[in-house]
Amino acid sequence: MKRRTFVMSAAGAAAGMMIAPRMSFAAKGTIDWYTGSDTNVLDFWANTVKPAFEAANAGIKLNLVDAGDNAGIIAIAERAIAAKQTGTDPQADYFEHSDPLLPAGAIEAGIYVNMAKAGLSNYARVNPLAIQSDYSLPYRGSQVLLAYDKTKLKPADVPKNWADLVAWIKANPGQFVYNRPDKGGSGGNFVRRAIHEANGRDPNAFTVSNYTQEFGDEALGKAWKLLADIAPSLYDKGAYSSGNTQSVQLLSQGVVTMIPVWSDQVLQAIDQGVLPAETGLVQLQDLALCGNFSRAVVLDNGANRDAALKLADFILSEEMQGAILTELGGFPGVSWGHISPELREKFADIIPQSIPTFPGGKWEAAINDGWYRNVAPSIDRKS
């Protein structure tokens, strides 16, 4: 063979190999699963869900793919819309976490399965507080809780509502810290809890579209007063850490006794020994701190639609939902009644009566600006 023909045929073969996977159809019986979440979620699926699901459903395999981020998921959904129009295979069956409203028009295009009508045997177990759309399936969540040092604060004396918390903070100056609201959700949702407190503890009072300058100034102004009031009793007379991790660090160094934390972050920190086993967790019982859910989406035109629905049903089973608590450190997507009794008892203090949420959009900008102007500098820390 001449050198030139050899080079050409080798290049052709290489090009062919690159094109080949794009031309092949998704293997029957292998669910193409995509996630845009962090590595800990992918690890959880690879080590816990995949073996259990494949053992329970002979003949179905799970192909776990990291789409990078949520934008990656949206790109695959756009491909699925195009595939639907041409009647081809989108090579995607299951999104671990996505918003069915994205990309715009996806539901109208008919690429997502209506979960409420899909006949899932476990659908009735889903926590009704978490359902946002018929086209997505809440299966794990995380919420902000209060973590405290049991060696300094007896579990019996832990404040369980806002008034007690404020009284405790003032009685124990320097022992509480929360991070700046824009630098991490734990402090951010603590600030939002104060906004709820100042406005009649009604999360429904705030929606994405009801921000106006007047309403915002009035509603937030009351919350800034509450927060400015406790500021002198916070760590270092009103210092605010610059992120979720830094708050956990202050708790682990024994500097403060109590901080707001994300549930999954604190459960993992305890599991890995970053925080000692004597770390207690508590949720406010009059109105919980805010949280959010991850919602799975199944593609209607995927080649393995029925197998993907089996997977969606499987992830809601008691076994998997318990594993989300113990392995992932997340919150179950099902109501707490569908969690095994011993786990329910272990996590009794952090079970919320409600899972409030707070809208983003203009509210977010107003909170981030207002807190810095009104709460952060309000006292003289030099004294």
Partner 1 sequence: MSEATKQAVRPLVDTAESRRPIGLLFVAIPVFLVIWLVIWPAINAISRTVWRKDKSGEMGFDLSSYAFFFSDSYSLDNLSITLWTTLVCAILLLMICLPIALYLRFSRGRLAAYVQALAIFPMFVPSIILAFAFIRVLGPNGMVDILFNAVDLPKIRTPYLTPWGPVIGLVWDNIPLTVLILLAGLGSVANQSIEAARDVGANAVQVFWHIILPRISNSILVALSFSVLGIFSSFTLPYLLGPASPEMLGPFMQRTLREVQDPVGAMTQAVIAFGFCIVFGLFYVRSVARSREK
- Interface positions with partner 1 (CB under 8 A): 180, 182, 236, 239-243, 246, 249-250, 253-255, 364-365, 368-369, 372-373, 376-377, 381
| Cα(45)–Cα(64) distance, integer angstroms | 8
Of 178 and 314, nearer to partner 1 (C-beta) is 178
241 vs 263 by CB, closer to partner 1 = 241
Residues 6+ apart with CB under 8 A from 168: 159, 176, 258
Contacting residues for 42 by C-beta, under 8 A, at least 6 apart? 35, 64, 66
Give the residue with the Cβ less far from partner 1, 44 or 176.
176
CB of 309 to partner 1, least distance (A): 39
Which residue, among 74, 159, 47, 138, has the nearest Cα to 357 in the 3D structure? 138
Shortest spacing between CB 293 and partner 1, in angstroms: 24
In whole angstroms, how close is the CB of 373 to partner 1 at the nearest point?
Answer: 5
Minimum CB distance to partner 1 smaller for 24 or for 151: 151
User: Taking a C-beta distance cutoff of 8 angstroms, is the pair 69, 36 a contact?
Assistant: yes
Which of helix, strand or coil describes residue 311?
helix
User: Contact, 117 vs 323, CB < 8 A?
Assistant: no
Of 96, 127, 100, 103, residue with least CA distance to 113: 100
Taking the complex as a whole, the smallest distance from the CB of residue 376 to partner 1 amounts, in Å, to 4
Q: Which is nearer to partner 1, 245 or 326 (by Cβ)?
A: 245
Q: What is the nearest approach in angstroms of partner 1 to the Cβ of residue 203?
A: 22
Token couple for 340: 């095994």
Task: Decide whether 67 or 250 has the Cβ nearer to partner 1.
Answer: 250
Q: State the nearest-atom distance from the C-beta of 224 to partner 1, in Å.
A: 13
Residue 263 class from Cβ within 10 Å (0-12 exposed, 13-18 middle, 19+ buried)? buried
Please name the residue that has the structure tokens 């690890």: 43
SS3 content of the chain, % helix, strand, coil (to 5): 50, 15, 40
Question: In terms of CB distance, is 245 or 354 closer to partner 1?
Answer: 245
| Comparison of 172 and 354: residue with beta carbon closer to partner 1 | 172
Is 321 exposed, middle or buried, given 0-12, 13-18 or 19+ CB atoms closer than 10 A? buried
**Shortest approach of partner 1 to residue 171 CB, angstroms?**
20
Task: Tell me the closest approach of the beta carbon of residue 169 to partner 1, in angstroms.
Answer: 17
Whether the CB-CB separation of 298 and 186 falls below 8 Å is answered with no
State in angstroms the smallest separation of the CB of 255 from partner 1: 4
Instruction: With beta carbons less than 8 A apart as the criterion, state whether 146 and 258 touch.
Output: yes
Closest CA to 298 of 82, 45, 107: 107
64 versus 239: smaller Cβ distance to partner 1: 239
Non-local (6+) Cβ contacts of 281 within 8 A are 145, 146, 147, 148, 263, 266, 347, 349, 350
Q: CA-CA distance, 383 to 381, in Å (whole number)?
A: 6
